[in-house]
Amino acid sequence: MKRNLLGIGLIMALVLIFTAFSFAEVKNPDTIIYAAIGGPETMDPHWSYDTASGEVIYHLYDNLIDYKGESVSEFVPMLSTEVPSVENGLISEDGLTYIFSIREGVKFHNGDILTPEDVVYSIKRGLIFDRAGGPMWMLFEPLLGVHSIEEIAVEVAGVENYSDLFVNGDPRGELKPDYREAMIKVITDYVDKVVESDGNKVIFHLAQPYGPFLSILAHSGGWGGIINQKWTIEQGGWDGQAEGWWKYHDPECENDPLYNIENGTGSFILKKWVPEEIVMLERFDDYWRGPAKIKNVQIKYVNEWTTRKLMLQTGDADLVYVPIQYLSEVEGLEGVRVVKGLPSLSNVVSMFPWTINAEGNTYIGSGKLDGEGIPPDFFSDIHVRKGFSHLFPYEIFIDKVAKGQAIRNPGPIVKPLLGYSEDPSLFYEFSLLKAKEEFQKAWDGQLWEKGCKFNIFYNEGNDVRKAACDMLSTYAKMINPKFEITPVGIQWSAYLKAFLTEKLPIYTIGWLADYPDPHNFVPVYMGSKGDYSGFFGEAYREFARENVDPLIEQALKESDSEKRAEIYQELTRIAHDQAISLYIYQPIGHHVERTWVKGWYHNPIMPSQPAGADFYSLSKSEEK
């Protein structure tokens, strides 16, 4: 009997030990740890235009309205108490006036109370800030009908270039006295008139009807984030005056007063940021919607996959960025949840700058077509662009590298947005023979005879994009041993700076929708002032001004959706016929988290999705 009791006791003890092990307490129960790649460039919502910055700023700053849950077309109030519509009288019949009633009692992180004047200041500060390659074009188009504040200044002052307004042609230097009055008018006659406060209301006056305007203002876009006027001025930001506004325009990133600090109304407060290492957030207990369920968030930037995988396995990370080629390694892991087939409003494209900045540029070798480099205008030859368009193994890439979690795009517009086309004639065929034929025509046959040597680029840590570059390099060498193309990985923040200087030859980069409309994709990839195509050199900009920009403008103002779709399909045809870029794939996303994470949802317009999360909604509880 004693033996049996001993045996039963031993078994029960083992069961209890096993049970305790299986349902062990959650690691770091008050903290969400997200292992990502590529850290932020800035904490300034008006500077930010990259995903890594955006996913942090999303939690620091609120906007006037937000998306409803997983929807990309329905809105809910945020700092505004209502979502404007024609039906509720907050959008005028002609579509030119939008009215927002501002929520009362909302606190900034420093304890100041939000006012309508803070909202007005935020919009004006963003328009004045208007950094090169930044996001403010999205507000300039609907509000002022231009792409940048520099366009207004040039027109008002009657000069040819913005730099002409300054001594020695230095826009960050001293303004020429003769242009002082003109520059003040840029604010008083233009910027001041697009947004105003009236009691507890903020009123926007648009220059043209603009369908995506609410989407542009909605949460997920830092450019619509609301900042604290008094605090920003104290930090050295724009003083709110028309006089001297040009001193606050287009600053260098690290010289921006809000570069590494914040004071938003968002659900979390920035506690620490070590670039390319970690961002630490702490719950804002006075948040107007109530405090978040989780107390702390840590975003750790770990470029090496095996380290991120180990963090996931041991529970030292709750959310992990998992490249598609490694997804099978985490499927079936105990305590790990994988969500697949998530829609993504993004695409990945390899760029062909028609003119490369050759000054001090080692990426193009000798800078000549002599077998030791390429000339700066290498990609201005359409046969070069078509050659590379035929050189990429699209279906192999999607099957083997993307593991089937992607589709092809014939141009910049992603599925299922208006104007997306599946016309087979718009898709380049992977054909080494056709690639060879195009390269043999390029540069009057000199390219094929002499060969070329240059670097192609991807952001470090992104193994999928690295694989795309490797494939181009491999197949180029295969068809002609004289083609030496070397893939190079660069850290994300440096990568962004590099393409803005127009020094990169081919570089692979993605675009996550700012708002779900084709107008957010076509100008970016094809317009003369696009955030990517605008840095393809003057030869391309001249082509786009004549052949692309007029169609973009026509599509934006067209109210008939069928006619609008036809214009976008025509633009897609131009993208194909000119081989403007190499459209690699549109991702189908996936999300990987520990099963103790609760409350995650997917909205493809969020800058962190699908790998990251809306941390406000998350909590952690024991695995079951």
Distance CA 595, CA 334 (A): 9
Amino acid at 514: D
Amino acid at 621: S
DSSP string, 69-104: TT-SS-EEESSBSS---TTTTSB-TTS-EEEEEBPS
367 shares a domain with 338: no
Residue 623 pLDDT: 60
**With contact defined as beta carbons under 8 Å apart, do 482 and 472 qualify?**
no
338 shares a domain with 363: no
Residue 480 pLDDT: 98
338 shares a domain with 377: no
Q: Is residue 260 in some structural domain?
A: no
The CATH number of residue 206's host domain is 3.90.76.10
396 shares a domain with 384: yes
351 shares a domain with 338: no
Residue 450 pLDDT: 97
pLDDT digits (tens, 9 = 90+) for 162-177: 999 999 999 999 999 9
Q: Is residue 170 in some structural domain?
A: yes
Residue 72 pLDDT: 82
Spans of the chain, pLDDT less than 70: 1-24, 559, 623-624
Q: Is residue 10 in some structural domain?
A: no
The CATH number of residue 366's host domain is 3.10.105.10
**With contact defined as beta carbons under 8 Å apart, do 533 and 525 qualify?**
yes
Q: Is residue 205 in some structural domain?
A: yes
406 shares a domain with 314: no
Residue 559 pLDDT: 66
Q: Is residue 580 in some structural domain?
A: yes
**Residue found under tokens 């240059």:** 454
Q: Is residue 332 in some structural domain?
A: yes
Number of domains comprising the chain: 3
Residue 111 pLDDT: 98
- The residue segments making up the domain with residue 205 are 62-228+243-250
CA 74 vs CA 69, 191, 292, 484: distances in Å: 9, 29, 23, 50
DSSP string, 155-212: HHHT-SSGGGGBGGG-TTSPBPGGGHHHHHHHIIIIIHHHEEEETTEEEEE-SS--TT
Residue 530 pLDDT: 93
404 shares a domain with 316: no
Residue 237 pLDDT: 97
| Cβ neighbours for 238, distance < 8 A, ≥ 6 positions apart | 124, 125, 128, 129, 232, 245, 248
527 shares a domain with 503: yes
599 shares a domain with 464: no
Q: Is residue 50 in some structural domain?
A: no
DSSP 365: B
pLDDT digits (tens, 9 = 90+) for 546-573: 999 999 988 887 767 788 899 999 999 9
540 shares a domain with 598: no
Distance CA 114, CA 104 (A): 7
395 shares a domain with 308: no
Residue 23 pLDDT: 42
State both tokens at 510.
């993605």
361 shares a domain with 468: yes
The CATH number of residue 600's host domain is 3.40.190.10
State both tokens at 558.
């067209």
Q: Is residue 430 in some structural domain?
A: yes
**With contact defined as beta carbons under 8 Å apart, do 36 and 318 qualify?**
no
